[in-house]
Amino acid sequence: MPALTTRPPAGAAVYARGSEGNRAGTGQISGRQKAAIIVRLLLAAGDHVPLRDLPDHLQAALTEQIGRMRVVDRATLDAVVGEFLALLDSIGLSFPGGIDGALQMLDGHISATAAGRLKRLSGASSKADPWDRIAALETEKLLPVLAEESAEVGAVMLSKLAVSRAAELLGKLPGERARHVAYAMGQTAEIDPETVRRIGLSLAAQLESRPLRAFEAEPHERIGAILNVSPAATRDDVLSGLAETDQELAERVRKSIFTFADIAGRIEGRDVSRVIRGVEQAALVNALAGARTEADTASAEFILANMSQRMAATLREEMAERGKVREKDAEAAMTAIVSSVRALVDAGELALRMTAEAEED
């Protein structure tokens, strides 16, 4: 009966909460009995019914009701199914239910501050599964739990995560610590579900109570993004100053910078046409004609070599007519090309090749 599988959880949940029907043939049947009939019918048809999404007390009540029932005649079954379908058809709009579902639906639409506050509220909910929130966190946030908490707590966390994720985390631990956690996993066979839940609530509160970051990008990435579009003299001066005060930060900033000189080594030839599509031809001519250093000249030739021969010939003619380009104009034009590259990268339409230094790291 395919029509029953359209949206069974919503209707079954309403029935399970005790909704009484007044339609002919079902007036003497309680909401829980109707829910039991629908669930039994769906399970008999081989459908998946996510009853675990219901609060625990409703799952228990529904299970007890199913245990008390024996036989339902055809007329009653048809009446209950008809009412159930009518209920589904009457629903115009449904909401996820609970703060967890609302947060998932609004992800990316509300501020990180508001989301963090609501997650803390969600953590206090008796029906929220803390392990769902923990599993959604980045690996870097979960590693400290394995390193700082007891081996037993780490073992519980790994047991609740997907196997591939648990293997990734275990592989990042020092050998001795990994062995202790693995041994502790062997001692968790008798742990009860409520203890596991309390551990999850504690870890979720601990992980989510950490201060929210005002900036999504790392400091070196933000500095690099600014220096990408800064004049070469400013860029060199800032990098020199950083190297004197924080050599490690300066090196990370240097690796995050992408300039006109990097085009030949970090962009695929097939992507050149997309890059120059967003650049005015006058700026393109100034950038290509204004290349002075060996690296800038290599990038200019790379761009010309990866466009149509006709367009390359036209640009070479305009470059010859343009003559010597002022350094200021050349830098502005090169910045326009770099900005086009960055826009494509940010939009996910272009991937930069890693530098040799980054690959070594």
pLDDT digits (tens, 9 = 90+) for 28-40: 888 899 999 999 9
Instruction: Identify whether the C-beta of residue 332 lies closer than 8 Å to the C-beta of residue 230.
Output: no
pLDDT at 252: 86
pLDDT at 16: 44
Instruction: Identify whether the C-beta of residue 201 lies closer than 8 Å to the C-beta of residue 123.
Output: yes
Residue with more model confidence, 301 or 345: 301
Residue with more model confidence, 224 or 337: 337
pLDDT at 94: 85
| Beta-carbon contacts of residue 351 (< 8 Å; ≥ 6 apart) | 345
- Give pLDDT tens digits for 269-316: 999 999 999 899 999 999 999 999 999 999 999 999 999 999 999 999
> Is the predicted pLDDT of residue 27 greater than 80, yes or no?
no
- Mean pLDDT of the region 334-358: 82
Dig out the tokens for 211 from the structure. Answer: 């201060």
pLDDT at 93: 87
> Is the predicted pLDDT of residue 355 greater than 90, yes or no?
no
Element (H, E) at 163: helix 163-171
Give all domains of the chain, ordered by start, each with its CATH number.
2-90 (no CATH), 129-208 (1.10.220.30), 258-360 (1.10.220.30)
C-alpha torsion sign, points 226, 227, 232, 234: positive
Our measurement of the distance from residue 314's CA atom to the centroid of its chain's CA atoms, rounded to an integer in Å, reads 45
Element (H, E) at 176: helix 175-185
Pick from 58-67, 128-137, 198-207 the range whose average pLDDT is largest.
58-67
Instruction: Identify whether the C-beta of residue 310 lies closer than 8 Å to the C-beta of residue 271.
Output: no
**With a threshold of 0.75, does the pTM exceed it?**
no
